């Protein structure tokens, strides 16, 4: 098995790997990940066959996110996952990135712990079909610069390049919470997934804005399958999600490697941009 860069022509096979895991990513998701980090996404190949992937997305030089860590089921337990992870970490170190984070599945967590990652918080996957509960309460985004400023202060690092791509690709109107000329107190995005529409990120500076954004999103998608990764301990509670017909499906562990920072774990980060992005 050899390791090299993941390329556009690998993405069909990469989607086959993530689909076999039951993951929600689409071909568009894979393209977006590769576009954000073409020099930091790696492939494991057995002959001509793609048998493993890992991706990295960098936010400035302070933080990078690792995602899409998959090894073909037939080839697990032979060190391919550890080698892919080493390749990703070497790449990030040589790019001068200080801290690396990821959202670990139970299958990935032992590997990451052995490499020095430590648990920081939990992300709960909630999924279901929301019933229509209330009319939309937010308003369309007429202050396009504002979500970036809000996100930067809430998340702790600059995610503009990711948010720009999510905004460009969004299948729904972004939801921004603001009144009059006041700066927004929250925003939410959503995109179509393979199995469910993925709501996220949801960023809000207080619980009532978080709830309002969530209700607006659930109303927008009433009757459709949706999912989101709720940040446990954030301004958004699981109770609100349960009330609207969603149920908790699994828990991912948000883990960190390198100098500790509060980026990606403030209470204002209510729902993830995706396990692959943080
Ligand atoms: C997680 C995954 C990528 C690991 O790939 P892999 O090639 O099997 O991993 P490796 O063989 O390199 O194992 C690395 C180390 O982790 C340990 N490990 C791997 N999977 C483990 C598990 N399920 N439970 C306990 N330890 C595990 C191995 O024992 C090994 O430690 P060692 O070198 O001290 O023996 C693979 O199991 C996978 O694709 N899982 C499904 C997708 C997924 O959940 N990915 C993680 C997303 S965060």
pLDDT digits (tens, 9 = 90+) for 84-105: 999 999 999 999 999 999 999 9
Phi and psi of 182, rounded to 5°?
-65, 150
Q: How far is the CA of 202 from the centre of ligand 1 (A)?
A: 30
Out of 16, 22, 72, 107, give the residue to mutate to test ligand 1, the one with the largest number of ligand atoms within 8 Å of its CB.
107
- pLDDT at position 272 over 60: yes
Task: Provide residues with CB under 6 Å of ligand 1.
Answer: 21, 69-71, 76-82, 104-105, 107-108, 110-111, 114
Residue with the nearest Cα to atom 16 of ligand 1?
A: 111
Q: Which atom of ligand 1 is nearest to the CA of 107?
A: 23
Q: How far is the CA of 217 from the centre of ligand 1 (A)?
A: 35
Q: How far is the CA of 201 from the centre of ligand 1 (A)?
A: 28
Residue with the nearest Cα to atom 26 of ligand 1?
A: 110
Q: Give Cα 180 to chain centroid, integer Å.
A: 31
Residue with the nearest Cα to atom 36 of ligand 1?
A: 71
Out of 65, 68, 111, give the residue to mutate to test ligand 1, the one with the largest number of ligand atoms within 8 Å of its CB.
111
Q: Which atom of ligand 1 is nearest to the CA of 84?
A: 12
Q: How far is the CA of 135 from the centre of ligand 1 (A)?
A: 45
CA-to-CA distance for 44 and 47, rounded, in angstroms? Answer: 10
Do 78 and 51 form a contact (C-beta atoms < 8 A)? no
- pLDDT at position 74 over 90: yes
75-100 as b/e: b if 16+ CB within 10 A: beeeebbebbbebbbebbeeeebebb
Residue with the nearest Cα to atom 19 of ligand 1?
A: 111
Q: How far is the CA of 227 from the centre of ligand 1 (A)?
A: 26
- pLDDT classification of 68: cutoffs 50, 70, 90: very high
Which pLDDT score is estimated for 58? 98
Q: Which atom of ligand 1 is nearest to the CA of 112?
A: 16
Do 32 and 70 form a contact (C-beta atoms < 8 A)? no
41-67 as b/e: b if 16+ CB within 10 A: bbbbbeeeebbbbbbbbbbeebbbbbb
Q: pLDDT: is 171 or 167 the higher one? A: 167
Q: Are strands 63-71 and 226-231 parallel, antiparallel or unpaired?
A: unpaired
Lowest mean pLDDT among 127-141, 181-195, 209-223, 229-243: 127-141
- pLDDT at position 10 over 50: yes
- pLDDT classification of 137: cutoffs 50, 70, 90: low
Residue for token pair 């037939």: 74
Q: Tell me how crowded residue 144 is: count the other CB atoms within 10 A of its CB.
A: 11
Q: Which residues contact 177 (CB under 8 A, 6 or more apart)?
A: 138, 184, 185, 186, 187, 204, 209, 212, 213
CA-to-CA distance for 22 and 276, rounded, in angstroms? Answer: 15
Residue for token pair 């096979």: 13
Residue with the nearest Cα to atom 4 of ligand 1?
A: 81
Q: Tell me how crowded residue 262 is: count the other CB atoms within 10 A of its CB.
A: 9
Residue with the nearest Cα to atom 18 of ligand 1?
A: 111
């Amino acid at each position: 098995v050899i390791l090299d860069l993941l390329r556009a022509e690998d993405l069909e096979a990469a989607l086959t790997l993530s689909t076999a895991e039951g993951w929600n990513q689409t071909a568009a998701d894979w393209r977006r990940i590769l576009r954000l980090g073409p020099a930091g996404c790696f492939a494991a190949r057995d002959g001509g066959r793609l048998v493993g992937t890992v991706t990295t997305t960098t936010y400035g030089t302070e933080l990078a996110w690792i995602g899409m860590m998959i090894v073909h089921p037939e080839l697990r337990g032979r060190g391919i996952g550890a080698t892919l992870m080493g390749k990703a970490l070497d790449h990030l170190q040589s790019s001068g990135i200080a801290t690396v984070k990821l959202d670990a599945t139970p299958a990935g967590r032992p590997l990451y712990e052995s490499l020095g990652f430590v648990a920081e918080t939990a992300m709960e996957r909630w999924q279901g079909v929301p019933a229509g509960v209330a009319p939309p309460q937010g308003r369309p985004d007429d202050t396009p610069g504002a979500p970036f400023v809000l996100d930067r202060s809430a998340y702790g690092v600059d995610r503009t390049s990711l948010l720009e791509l999510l905004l460009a690709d969004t299948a729904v109107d972004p939801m921004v919470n603001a009144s009059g000329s006041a700066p927004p107190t929250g925003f939410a995005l959503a995109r179509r997934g393979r199995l469910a529409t993925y709501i996220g990120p949801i960023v809000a500076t207080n619980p009532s804005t978080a709830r309002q954004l969530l209700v607006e999103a659930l109303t927008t998608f009433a009757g459709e399958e949706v999912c989101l990764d709720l940040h446990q301990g954030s301004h958004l509670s699981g109770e609100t999600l349960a009330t609207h017909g969603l149920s908790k499906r699994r828990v991912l562990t948000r883990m960190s490697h390198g100098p500790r920072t509060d980026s990606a774990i403030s209470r204002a980060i209510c729902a993830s941009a995706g396990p692959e992005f943080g």
